[in-house]
A and B are shown apart, each in its own frame.
Chain A
């Protein structure tokens, strides 16, 4: 009833009608494809299933890609998911892409990267800025089951994957001469296309790089393949190097304009960032599943008391991560010009939270955690190694901070406590959305719709605080995060303006706190966006627990956690474990 109070101001019949229409089309179709993949991949815990966890873990142990499952994904037409519908594929929205991919990621994050999303990471520059001919050949490649490799340029504090870059010198009369060496490129030995972020200007400017689309088959002897590089995480994935020795590249290889490389990276990475975070949540769900198994198997009594906190806490964190990622994925469609900061914050927060989740679950799994390779308990070991590769570690988070830091002052001065709230369908699962269009993605500015939503949610909750119970605590939590945003505003304004001051380490501290505030805002907005069809998500318990944990990371004063919150979250966790449902906002039926 209290929920209805809050939602009454937002609900309109028009949105309802749009929602039905929206779900009827693209979303229903995506959910059907996801269910088909789940069924094709089969029971992950069946030791005889060739696509089950035992087989996938064994391939990882052999440092090989899981060949049979990769074939299955090609036959199922996974490549079409990475090609926008207007170019002949099935990619309509980033949030729907994630729903389709989750069956793969629940089983094997590395497989989802190697045989999946890294091809999207590579080709997104073509969808954003390619010529019709480039789009056609790229679409044809992926639709036929081929792969594309992204060849990153070198970023600050680079690790093995981001280190080194290629140089493309413009040739008189057109075209480029490509030179350089890079040792760690995913799928370099098997891809049909390389999308190279090459340096085309030796000067250190934002126009220093350009994107080149290369087909290895058409290149001369000036290209040499370097040996495979074995990695501690994603052991089965094929990382290897490439060397170009003054290799002639035709002028029509250029994607977009000369010098557009950095801009294209900023434009397309925001999709990658949200997709990585949301699919990693699916992978972490499998570890949570194994932890609930460890806590319940062979036990007739309720789960041991000391395990309540980590189990309920991690489940709440997964829902928090999914809230943040889902809001951003939907915003890419609905508010494409202003999702860049949120996307960076998602990638900054989620992999870190998930890494902590795995460590917390290590304590629940105990010695089961060392039963490597077993379908029941092997997921912790594998994901603990794979996740840092997916998140790219410090270089990955620093790349996100580089997007947030230069914008904080402007947000503090002109966006926070001023911007209007976003359309409510942003937060409503099932509400129809525009298609994702890479060409519309902005890379700076546009204000802060999620901070506005936090402020709005806190105001609405304040009105129902006297209902008491968990709702009152939720209202207090919302207010605590608004207070934190207010403090951030003051601190951001206190640092002198100007480019030189951006080197002040205080900005990195502020961007961390700001990212956590956005996580809190996404949790509240997701809770508010519930229509009641999922009673657990519509009740405040999970949001209260998730916000309490985010607030704890911020070190801000918080209300006491109501006693019944953790129990309610734990009950739902066990219910999902017993009935075979996924540990995210979608609560999807899993193959059994």
Chain B
């Protein structure tokens, strides 16, 4: 399974601000169908403070930005939205300000009008991580590696019976590390489904080995999917754990995700031609 995640998930890359490296995002997206970046909000501060077009960049998130009084929360919020837009813009070949970051009913962010890319966003402390995919849903979650999730207190809420059995047999330190890994994986999967914490964490599970790779399991530990899902967990900056859940609908989607090429030329030309005949509009 370890090779499976390495083959199918692009490991997260560090974006140090608006400069990217976006070529790595484009390459990962073309090759494996997904890519993710992590960054810290401080790295976006110069862009936030200097950019005169912050309002169009934030779009419908602008009021929320203006209404956030706490400067740290405010800058983290704007940095996370910029990170999403720059990452998505790299995939679509547009400028970040041309994209409308919208939210589905359950809160899942998406790019209005551009369904060639699914995306997910997570942050904790000063870390922000963004995942994008062209093969299906993607979910990303991060936690500080030193966050202690007590197995004793949380096992009923978080673990399936199969996970409980395995973790119970481990020494305490490994138990805690295992809990954190499971937590981020479960968050990543539920975020991929757009459900966040509304999904019961004990109703689905993962292999409890220490490696990042696992398939989706039913509560009794049997496989719960047909290989459409792949999961990976990555240490980041030495301080964080990032987990990624990637879905593949199996449609073998186009490697080209550019906005400029998505509208079929033949259809557009035929419809435009007829419209012009019906309603002549002077060309500028």
Spell out A's residues near B (CB within 8 Å).
153, 155-161, 163, 204-206, 208-209, 231-233, 262-263, 265-266, 306, 310, 313, 352, 356, 359-360, 362-363, 366-367, 369-370, 372, 385, 388-389, 392-395, 397-399, 401-403, 405-407, 409-410, 413-414, 443-445, 496-499, 502-506, 508-513, 549, 552-553, 555
Contact = CB atoms under 8 A, between A and B. Distances in A.
Contacts of A414: 279
A359 B194 contact: yes
B263 A398 contact: yes
Given A313-B105, A366-B203, A555 B262 contact: no
B268 A352 contact: no
Contacts of B92: 505
Interface centre among B227, B271, B278 (most CB of A within 10 A): B271
8 contacts: A156-B263, A232-B226, A356-B105, A363-B193, A366-B200, A367-B203, A370-B219, A503-B260
A455 to B, nearest CB: 20
Contacts of B94: 505
Contacts of B113: 401, 505, 508-512
B49 interface: no
Contacts of A389: 249-251
Interface residues of B, number: 64
Given A359-B194, A367-B218, A553-B104, A394 B268 contact: no
Contact of A157 (B200, B203, B261): B261
Contacts of B248: 232
B115 interface: yes
Interface of B: 60, 92, 94, 98-100, 102-106, 112-116, 134, 136, 193-195, 198-200, 203-204, 218-219, 224, 226-228, 248-254, 256-257, 259-275, 278-279, 281-284
Interface centre among B103, B114, B251, B270 (most CB of A within 10 A): B251
Contact of B274 (A163, A205, A444, A512): A444
Main secondary structure of the interface of B (DSSP, over half): loop
A373 to B, nearest CB: 12
- Residue among A402, A504, A553 with the highest chain B CB neighbour number at 10 A: A402
Q: Which 4 A-B pairs have the closest CB atoms?
A: A232-B250, A508-B113, A444-B274, A206-B270
A91 B89 CA distance: 46
A192 to B, nearest CB: 27
B267 A402 contact: yes
Given A206-B273, A356-B104, A508-B114, A306 B198 contact: yes
Contact of B228 (A232, A497, A506): A232
A403 B271 contact: yes
B268 A405 contact: yes
A394 B116 contact: yes
B268 to A, nearest CB: 5
Nearest to B116: A394
B284 A497 contact: yes
Listed residue (B94, B261, B264) with the most chain A CB atoms within 10 angstroms of its CB: B264
A158 B254 contact: yes
Given A367-B218, A407-B275, A512 B112 contact: yes
Contacts of A155: 264, 266-267
A428 to B, nearest CB: 30
A398 B270 contact: no
A444 B264 contact: no
Given A367-B204, A398-B116, A512-B112, A498 B261 contact: no
Most buried by B among A406, A511, A549, A552: A406
